[in-house]
Amino acid sequence: MFWKGLFAGTVGTEAPAGVAEHEVLITEWTTPKGERLPIYFSTTREIDVYALEALCDAVGWAKRPLRKVRKALACSFLVGSLWLEKQPQRRLIGFARATSDHAFNATIWDVVIHPEFQGKGLGKALMRQMIRELRQQEISNITLFADPHVVSFYEELGFHADPEGIKGMFWYPS
């Protein structure tokens, strides 16, 4: 089956007491000064659109009108974020969101890890948490649009390009 194998193994452990229910400890991050700081995944923390756009800017994405970013967040089915915790501060270092029909289908958008934190497994952990959350909501069909250079990243997570010959099709205003 198409989705078989997507959920082999879970990532992280449940958050300890005092941390919101939807927050999952992903890993501990060692800073250049040798401090060990936790990184949490959350689906409930409020996203500051300025911090989000700074994150997207850090990977070279085009700027978007903040009014539309706020609307996209408010209308998303699932908003997942990764946070580096250094009490009393927390830093947004990863983000993904999904839109959905709330029954069968969800599409994941805006997957991003800050360049300082890339290549250490956090992108995969973020995606696995997104998939886990969507599966918990009984969504069985998860899709996304992959830039050509990240196809293998998504394939390693169990996504298939053009399954059974299906093609994504786009309409743009001419």
Ligand X SMILES: CC(C)(COP(=O)(O)OP(=O)(O)OC[C@H]1O[C@@H](n2cnc3c(N)ncnc32)[C@H](O)[C@@H]1OP(=O)(O)O)[C@@H](O)C(=O)NCCC(=O)NCCS
Give the interface with ligand X as residue ranges (CB under 6 A). 59, 111-113, 118-124, 146-147, 149-150, 152-153, 156
- Shortest distance (Å) from residue 18 CB to ligand X: 27
Residue nearest to ligand X (CB): 123
Give the burial string for 36-69 (b: 16+ CB within 10 Å, else e).
ebbbbbbbebebebeebbebbeeeeeeeeeeeeb
Q: State both tokens at 139.
A: 């969504």
Q: Which is nearer to ligand X, 23 or 110 (CB)?
A: 110
Q: What is the CA radius of gyration of the chain?
A: 16
Is residue 154 annotated as a catalytic residue, yes or no?
A: yes
The region that residue 9 occupies, defined by phi over 0 for left and psi between -120 and 50 for alpha, beta otherwise, is: left
Instruction: Single out the catalytic residue among 40, 50, 154, 172.
Output: 154
Q: Which is nearer to ligand X, 77 or 153 (CB)?
A: 153
Let me know if 171 is exposed, middle or buried by CB neighbors in 10 A (0-12, 13-18, 19+). Answer: exposed
Q: Which is nearer to ligand X, 69 or 112 (CB)?
A: 112
Q: Which is nearer to ligand X, 4 or 149 (CB)?
A: 149
Specify whether the CB–CB gap between 73 and 45 falls below 8 A. Answer: no
Query: Which residues are tagged catalytic?
Result: 154
